[in-house]
Structure 1
Amino acid sequence: MNEGLSNTRRSGMRRRVLQSACAFAMAAAVPVLARADLVGVLPQIKPSIVAVGTYQRTRSPAFQFRGTGFVVGDGHLIATNAHVLPETVAGENMETLAIVVPGKDQQGTVRQVSRVASERSRDLALLRLEGGAALPALSLASRERVQEGQEIAFTGFPIGAVLGMTPVTHRGIVSAITPIGIPQANSRDLNPALIRRLANDVFRVYQLDATAYPGNSGSPVFDPKTGEVIGVINMVFVKSTKESALSDPSGISYAIPVEYLHKLLGEVR
């Protein structure tokens, strides 16, 4: 009788050990699968990432980096942040808007672009390639698919051309979907831009737990499983509004939802 109870206890213990081992293995497999998804998706993403700036052959460096962009639409359109673009270019000195398409070397290929659309209130802009072959375009996600907690990644040039024209990828989650205009506890914390946003132009942005840098402005935020773009990194427009009352800006990153890029594309097609 005692031997039978002992065997039963041993069997129960073995089952619990096996169940625990299976649960651990399944939990461990989730990040592995997520990493595997990103590894498979990145070769589709990186050929569509470009550096945005101005080009003037007689200066050094000839290309001045201003931010990141990515190819959309028919392969001749580049999406980026509106603040990435200069107010004017010195055409009399042969300065032009340009992008650099990364290549196998550290320099990449310079291609001329023109500004075709801009939405200052959402800090988005579209550029058009001037002639030449189309580039591979990224797919844009539908407008209503993003949820808090979902995994994201973004690819761009976090510190510009300092280390060469090599796109860099960061990953994280959507930690919150939050209004760009946040009511302040004290009227002294308000500024004219925030007052306008609160009165007329409140819209929601994605708060990310991954760290982006100023050169990442204009980078595509995408689903690491599918490669579909869900937003556009913004490191100036959003942070200046949401964090204007902070003496030390946070390490939080923000992105403009892709639905606003859909609308801008609709205006130029």
Structure 2
Amino acid sequence: MDKKIIFSIIVSLLILAFGVFGYFYTKNYTASKIYSESTILKKNSEESSTQTIPEIKEIIRESQKKVVMVELEDGSVGSGFLYNDNGDIITNAHVVDGASSVKIRTTDAKGYDGEVIGISTETDIAVVRVEGLKNIEPLTLSPSTELEIGDEILALGSPLGFQNTVTTGIISGTDRELNVEPYIYENVYQISAPIAPGNSGGPLLDRKSGHVVGINSARIEQGNIGFSIPISAVLPLVNGWSETPMRNLPSVTSFDISSKVNGNKMLETSDYLINYFIESINFRDFVTAYSLLGSDWQSNVKYETFREKYLHINAIKITELKKEIQEDKVIVETILSIEEHNGEKNITKIYNKTFVVAYENDQAKIISEKQEG
């Protein structure tokens, strides 16, 4: 057979083979791409799956900075929370009933004067303006959130005067109605989180977001059932007072908060202040920790030096704490377990430290620290 004919046949067969191979490869490759998972969707799915609910400790820590204790001249206390950057505090009407001015105490033990700028005689809600808290970031409100039975919540406030108390629970009922003269509670949340006198006016937080969904307002002692007014029900009212404060509120003589400080209160405040100081260091919030120091201590130690002192510390745990009043001061003796980063390894040491707490301009401060051994 002619060589040219043989060569042509071979070339034709090769072309045919490559054509068949190309057809099936293209078909299978295209099909795999069509039916394979979209990389964009997969990426979005992975990102969604990695979204986590904030740590409960972080929610509490950030929220407590904006929750306050409301103190009246007669010594009664309630709670409230910062809701806008005008320094306005939402609380319950029954907390400030009969007062035109109150004292506000923040978590860092600072005291401020507050003026009642709005109060309702039907809805248990009021607003107190605190000039000293202007331009401070408020709690985030979530008026569009509608909680359901079983949703987890946090209740913050000052029950029985114990500031910075947090209780956890769930929504145990919705759309509840009750009358506690002279107030009418309609469509309120029933909560399982324990609340007590002093909790009134504190925020109810959604566990998932940490945002305010209600105002803790009432309880039934039998069974310890609490009720919280949805924030959406009162926003129009409080916004109106914030824009146009009410007039002709009853006048009450302002009182000196220092005259209300007794021994038990000093001990309680000192306990809280030392724990808050240690907690701030553990969260590496050195600015807050430094703000708790007395003026003389701050004068002798610059912030940078103070911060440098704690940078190598991983965690501090209070294993023992004893308090004793000496004249106008509280001596707080502690045993601290401190985990330090030393070179390439972590080591834990035990320290005995004594703190002295006293009031400066109606504010509790740590005026000195002494380490033994």
Task: Give TM-score scaled by structure 2 length.
Answer: 0.47
What is the rounded CA distance, in whole Å, between the counterparts of 1:158 and 1:43 in structure 2? 18
**1:98 and 2:103 correspond:** yes
- Tell me, what secondary structure is at the counterpart of 1:174? strand
Q: Structure 1's 144 and 43: CA in aligned 2 closer, same or farther, altered over 3 A?
A: closer
Opposite residue 83 of structure 2, the aligned amino acid is: V
- Deviation at residue 144 of structure 1 after TM alignment: 4.5
Answer yes or no: is the 8 Å Cα contact 2:86–2:131 preserved in 1. no
What is the rounded CA distance, in whole Å, between the counterparts of 1:227 and 1:132 in structure 2? 21
Aligned alpha-carbon RMSD (Å): 2.6
1:45 aligns with one of 39, 52, 63: 63
1:217 counterpart residue number: 200
Answer yes or no: is the 8 Å Cα contact 1:122–1:256 preserved in 2. no
1:204 counterpart residue number: 187
- Tell me, what secondary structure is at the counterpart of 1:213? coil
**1:173 and 2:170 correspond:** yes
1:72 aligns with one of 78, 83, 106: 83
- Deviation at residue 83 of structure 1 after TM alignment: 0.1
Deviations 1:173-203 (A, max 9, x none): 0011133149xxxxxxxx9x59xx8xxx672
What is the rounded CA distance, in whole Å, between the counterparts of 1:113 and 1:48 in structure 2? 15
Deviations 1:33-56 (A, max 9, x none): 87x63122112101001100235x
2:252 counterpart residue number: none
Q: Structure 1's 132 and 81: CA in aligned 2 closer, same or farther, altered over 3 A?
A: closer
What is the rounded CA distance, in whole Å, between the counterparts of 1:124 and 1:210 in structure 2? 21
Q: How does 1:84-123 map to 2 (within 5 A)?
A: 84-88=95-99, 96-103=101-108, 108-123=109-124
Q: Structure 1's 219 and 85: CA in aligned 2 closer, same or farther, altered over 3 A?
A: same
Q: Which runs of 5 or more residues in structure 1 are unaligned? A: 1-32, 56-62, 90-95, 183-190
- Deviation at residue 266 of structure 1 after TM alignment: 2.5
- Tell me, what secondary structure is at the counterpart of 2:97? coil
- Tell me, what secondary structure is at the counterpart of 1:64? coil
Percent of residue pairs bearing the same amino acid type? 25
**1:157 and 2:154 correspond:** no
What is the rounded CA distance, in whole Å, between the counterparts of 2:239 and 2:97 in structure 1? 24
- Deviation at residue 121 of structure 1 after TM alignment: 1.9
- Tell me, what secondary structure is at the counterpart of 1:249? coil
Opposite residue 205 of structure 2, the aligned amino acid is: F
- Deviation at residue 132 of structure 1 after TM alignment: 5.8
What is the rounded CA distance, in whole Å, between the counterparts of 1:263 and 1:158 in structure 2? 28
Q: Structure 1's 202 and 168: CA in aligned 2 closer, same or farther, altered over 3 A?
A: closer
What is the rounded CA distance, in whole Å, between the counterparts of 2:207 and 2:96 in structure 1? 28
Q: How does 1:245-264 map to 2 (within 5 A)?
A: 249-264=222-237
Answer yes or no: is the 8 Å Cα contact 1:206–1:255 preserved in 2. yes
What is the rounded CA distance, in whole Å, between the counterparts of 2:58 and 2:99 in structure 1? 40
- Tell me, what secondary structure is at the counterpart of 1:261? helix
Greater strand share, 1 or 2? 2
Deviations 1:3-31 (A, max 9, x none): xxxxxxxxxxxxxxxxxxxxxxxxxxxxx
Aligned residues: 191
Answer yes or no: is the 8 Å Cα contact 1:80–1:126 preserved in 2. yes
Q: Structure 1's 144 and 121: CA in aligned 2 closer, same or farther, altered over 3 A?
A: farther
Answer yes or no: is the 8 Å Cα contact 2:69–2:106 preserved in 1. yes
- Deviation at residue 265 of structure 1 after TM alignment: 2.7
Q: Structure 1's 170 and 118: CA in aligned 2 closer, same or farther, altered over 3 A?
A: same
Answer yes or no: is the 8 Å Cα contact 1:68–1:218 preserved in 2. yes
Q: Which runs of 5 or more residues in structure 2 are unaligned? A: 1-51, 244-373
Task: Give TM-score scaled by structure 1 length.
Answer: 0.63
Answer yes or no: is the 8 Å Cα contact 2:216–2:226 preserved in 1. yes
What is the rounded CA distance, in whole Å, between the counterparts of 1:202 and 1:111 in structure 2? 30
1:266 counterpart residue number: 239
- Greater RCO, 1 or 2 (C-alpha within 8 Å, sep 6+): 1
Answer yes or no: is the 8 Å Cα contact 1:52–1:99 preserved in 2. yes
- Tell me, what secondary structure is at the counterpart of 1:218? coil
What is the rounded CA distance, in whole Å, between the counterparts of 2:132 and 2:156 in structure 1? 25
